[in-house]
Amino acid sequence: MGLALEGIRVIDLTQFQQGPCATLLLADMGAEVIKVEARGIGDPGRRFGPFGPGGTSAYFEANNRNKKSMTVDTRTDKGKEIVYRLVKKADVFAQNFRPGVAERLGFGYEALSRLNPGIVYLTGSAFGLKGPMGKKPGYDAVGQAMSGMMGLIWTPEGLAPTSLGFSVSDQSGAFLLGFGAMVALFERERTGRGQEVDVSLLGSTMALVGWTFQGQITPGGGGMRFQVPRARVTRVRGSEAGITSSHFTKDGKPLLLILNGRELQVKSYKAMGLENLIADPRFEGWDGIKANLNTLLTTIDERIRTKDREEWLRLFDEGEAIAAPIHSCPEAAAHPQVVANEYVTEIDHPKEGRMKVLGLPVKMHRTPGRIGVAPELGAHTDEILSSVAEYTAEEIADMRKQQVI
């Protein structure tokens, strides 16, 4: 027996997790997924541990099984030509470059759809393609922080985790991007036309919070009050230390910092005006940071308390370091990036009046979805019985009299 997606060909230029896991879903169901990797370098995920005895990366294996790999230098004209030839014979093209990079490479939707009008084009981003953060790169923990999810999770001691400890935003973004691919392929069967599908870490995580998020932005739902945050430290990429920590700013708002690896640590220390930490032997490598972690975090705590959160976000952005606000759900709903991408929108509810609701996290660029309201109990009974089940008005009335409906 064949697999459901046999005959579907996917050209996969994604890397790390969100994009690769989305195309993995298609590969598992039988699609031919051709993973195009940078010549001599490959997907950076290949270098993420832990590693098996044979040197296999658990991270890369989990996100790329059932795929084919080829290497191409897409910066060259001949490399671009290879991708164009593949696209002409493909059903799906997937990329999760920083927004704008695919277009600069010549692989934007407009360019590829001219080669193949039926191509389903998948875009995975951090924050969505619109709004003030539309072209910024992002991390999983940033999606967790800005979505409102992190602001809902507290330990029994009243401490705020700096993530759930696994890649919730990346994974939920992947699942929804894979879902969007299937919706677009299904629609293409009817029309013969492809379209772009875009999904972000931010919108996906808000959707994952789901009814809890809706409860927080519905009048009477209540917001969460922030308590004292704590740091979470993990070991990543060989001997490098990966630190994700949360701190309170001068205006009492929680801020997430990501100091994964030496390069990002140096940029972060400079952004905070703590250049003296760069050459401090106590904080060199994993062993040094582990032995002196409390000292490091206390130093950062004291420094972060000297400025308001918005000022720190500006400084980290200018220094190309990574910081993010830890939002409550109402704060997330009001953020300009969320508003611009309609991850939260407003509807006229027949009972509640004008109200905010979660929007659609999967953006179908040619056939957008819709936002509606939940039905009243049995509101469509007569309509369904008449139009779908083809009962007469007399039969419906009789069933109601007999208390069948």
- What is the full per-residue pLDDT of the chain (405 aa) written as tens digits? 689 999 999 999 999 999 999 999 999 999 999 999 999 999 999 998 888 999 999 999 999 999 999 999 999 999 999 999 999 999 999 999 999 999 999 999 999 999 999 999 999 999 999 999 999 988 898 999 999 988 887 554 444 555 676 789 999 999 999 999 999 999 999 999 999 999 999 999 999 999 999 999 988 765 544 444 444 444 333 335 568 888 889 998 989 998 888 899 999 999 999 999 999 999 887 788 888 888 998 999 999 999 999 999 999 999 999 999 999 899 999 999 999 999 999 999 998 999 999 999 999 999 999 999 989 889 999 999 999 999 999 999 999 999 999
Output b/e per residue, 114-124; b: 16+ Cβ within 10 A: eebeebbbbbb
**Strand 231-235, strand 159-160: pairing:** unpaired
Q: Which two tokens stand for residue 273?
A: 């005006």
Query: What phi, psi does 382 have (nearest 5°)?
Result: -65, -40
The answer, yes or no, to whether the previous bond of 368 is cis (omega within 30 of 0) is no
pLDDT for res 32: 96
Q: How many residues does the chain have?
A: 405
All residues at 6 or more sequence positions from 204 whose CB lies less than 8 Å from its CB, including other chains:
143, 169, 172, 173, 175, 176, 361
pLDDT for res 163: 64
Identify which of 94, 45, 44, 39 has the alpha carbon closest to the alpha carbon of residue 71.
39
Q: What is the pTM of this model?
A: 0.86
Output b/e per residue, 183-215; b: 16+ Cβ within 10 A: bbbebbeeeeebbbbbbbbbbbbbbbbeeebbe
Report all structural domains of the chain as residue ranges with CATH numbers, in order of start: 9-137+164-209 (3.40.50.10540), 228-325 (3.30.1540.10), 376-405 (no CATH)
pLDDT for res 287: 81
pLDDT for res 83: 97
pLDDT for res 77: 95
